[in-house]
Amino acid sequence: FQYTESRVLKARLRFLAEKYQIREDDFLVFDAMRQAAQCAGRVIRNKNDYGIVIFADKRFTRAKLRSKLPKWIAQFLSVDSLDLDLGTAIAEARTFLLDMAQPSVAKSRVEEKPPENYEFIGSRTAPE
């Protein structure tokens, strides 16, 4: 979440409230989720990439907050993957990275087609 004492942010929030009746909390949550999605998207830039994104903030355990994330992220946030202890998170990450490092796994994942409802921010189709 942004530093809420910023004069620029306060002016933006005032403008949004006056002109569009957007509540401060609604905008701040929207903007935080936009920034989180943008950061997650930087990990995977093309079909050969793989990586791990850790949403370490406890607030991501709230269903209401997770529902604000884009579908292409939210579909991978299962309830059993939330609020993991450090040891479990490290073990899961290690297993994933070891699996993905295997040429046969990486090759089969590249050849898979994305699901029909696969969405990238700002578009309805996968980038080329």
Residue range 31-62, pLDDT digits in tens: 999 999 999 999 888 878 889 999 989 999 99
Where do the structural domains in the chain lie, given as residue ranges? 7-111
Chain CA centroid to CA 64, Å: 14
Taking residues 76-90, report their average pLDDT: 89
Query: What is the dihedral sign for C-alpha 60, 53, 84, 117?
Result: positive
pTM over 0.75: no
